[in-house]
Amino acid sequence: MLVNLLSRLKLSKAYAAAIDRHTGEQEIHIGFADGADARRFAEVVKAQPAAHRDGAWACQWVFHMNDATSDAIGAAMLTSGEIDQR
């Protein structure tokens, strides 16, 4: 679902995604070459700034994949990544 969303957002630059299973939970890490692309993705999934950051990154955001996030992603995919005010 996230890969489909990334392709529909028509991002301006490159991105990379990986699954990290080292924390005991599955975490998905997505890196963006363009800050505006990262902000757009964070807006769609309603991400919040991460409480604990890895110093190697300029910024980090976190979101939880729950029903509300899944619904927001589904709506964004139906509208080619456009976000409405609902």
User: Each residue of 32-72: pLDDT tens digit?
Assistant: 889 899 888 888 888 888 877 677 777 788 888 888 888 88
Domain positions in the chain are 2-78
| pLDDT of amino acid 70 | 83
Please tell me the number of Cα atoms within 13 Å of 13 on its side-chain side.
10
Residue 86 in this model has a pLDDT that exceeds 50: no
Count CA atoms within 13 Å of residue 57 on its CB side: 16
